[in-house]
Amino acid sequence: MMANETFDSVTIKDVARLAGVSVATVSAVLNNKGTASARMKRRVEQAIARLDYRPDNFARSLKTGRSKVIGMVVPDVTNPFFTEIMAGLEGMARSHGYAVILSNSDEDPAREQENLDMLHARRVDGVVLACTSGHAGPDRVTRQRFPIVFVDRLPAAAGFSGRAVIVDNFSAAYEGTNLLIKLGHSKIAIIAGRLDLSVGLERANGFRKAMQEARLLVRESYFQEGDFRPDSGYRCGRALMQLSEPPTAIFSCNNSMTLGLMRALAEGRMGCPEQVSIVTFDDFPWTAYFQPQMTAIAQPAYEIGRQSMRMLLAVLEPDSAEAHEITEPVMILKAELRLRHSTAPLPTA
């Protein structure tokens, strides 16, 4: 490109001039107002295509106070669970004319706050947040001047009163542990997630409740705390397999830790389910390709994303269908236990 080469921005007036219509008509077409005739709409669309016109969303946001952009902050963009939530959110957002900005906190509270500050500076209309353990709660977010919907996790602060779409983690963990108990296992271990996060604590409590009701001891050595990442699953799996009396069943509290656990089992040449049965939290297509195929607790991740956007729409667009349909600030979805081949009855011999 030549040093003195410049480009002139195409404006809405240029589109109106080429189409032979008023600026108001072009605006009506761009905003799907339905006031322009089919013939006028076609002329405007042809002019837009010919000029390669792109609306100045920043200028429009200054005028209307709305950017039609939603922010999303997740703690681990490499985890397919959050990718699936993003897909559900983005699909619902796009159908209502919103774009989405995704950012990653990497489980760092300071980085999470930087992301929220950045989204505020970019004038997003709302935020969907899977918060870190250090999140200060709704009061801090209120100062960011946009509505927020929490997903997957709730802030640690007591008395939560914000909006959220979550899964019934306690009941799901209780059901998964009960499956192992009904198969005859009593030496059952857990690879828990971080207990300073609501999801980690709820899953651990569901495990404890099932064990308590069956009058089974939760051995200290069988209670391994990871951090929802593969390396911690590997570390915890190795610790369990090196015990003088290793467990015959393991409840792993998320997909990433299960990856590390399976590596530890393979290195220790521990057969699954011949020597140890496994139930994992989270189910994705790749779990069906494991050998053996994994018994998993499937979270409705895509639906979490969809419902979080619907909850934002109920706030952003008071006249929308969502505003009339969503009446509760917290939506709790159910997980599904899917039986496959990584679980088996305790061998009698």
Domain ranges within the chain, ordered by starting residue: 12-55, 67-167+301-333, 169-299
Cα gap 104→130, rounded to integer Å: 10
Cβ distance 73 to 115 under 8 Å? yes
Q: In what order do the strands lie in the sheet with 295-298?
A: 223-225, 188-192, 249-252, 277-281, 295-298, 336-338
Beta strands 126-129 and 163-167: pairing type? Answer: unpaired
Cβ distance 188 to 249 under 8 Å? yes
Cβ distance 151 to 129 under 8 Å? yes
Cα gap 216→211, rounded to integer Å: 5
Q: How much is the pTM?
A: 0.82
Closest listed residue to residue 131, CA positions, set 168, 159, 89, 166: 166
Buried b (16+ CB within 10 A) or exposed e, 42-74: ebbeebbeeeebebeeeebbeeeeebbbbbbbb
Which stretch of DSSP H or E encloses residue 324?
A: helix 321-325
What is the C-alpha end-to-end distance of the chain, expressed in Å? Answer: 78
- Which one of 3.40.50.1370, 3.30.9.90, 1.10.260.40, 3.30.460.80 gives the CATH number of domain 12-55? 1.10.260.40
- Which one of 3.20.20.150, 3.40.50.2300, 1.10.150.530, 3.40.50.720 gives the CATH number of domain 169-299? 3.40.50.2300
The CATH homologous superfamily of the domain defined by 67-167+301-333: Response regulator (3.40.50.2300)
Cα gap 169→204, rounded to integer Å: 9
Say yes or no: do domains 12-55 and 169-299 share a fold.
Answer: no
Please report, in tens digits, the pLDDT of each residue of the chain (349 residues total): 444 444 457 788 888 888 888 888 887 887 766 677 888 888 888 888 888 877 765 555 545 557 899 999 999 999 999 999 999 999 999 999 899 999 999 999 999 999 999 999 888 999 999 999 876 665 555 555 789 999 999 987 666 788 999 999 999 999 999 999 999 999 999 999 999 999 999 999 999 999 999 999 999 999 999 999 999 999 999 999 999 999 999 999 999 999 999 999 999 999 999 999 999 999 977 766 778 899 999 999 999 999 999 999 999 998 888 878 888 899 999 999 999 999 999 876 4
Q: Count of CB atoms within 10 A of residue 194's CB?
A: 20
Q: Count of CB atoms within 10 A of residue 87's CB?
A: 15
SS3 assignment, position 164: strand
SS3 assignment, position 33: coil
In the numeric block, the tokens 């599904």 are attached to 336
SS3 assignment, position 167: strand
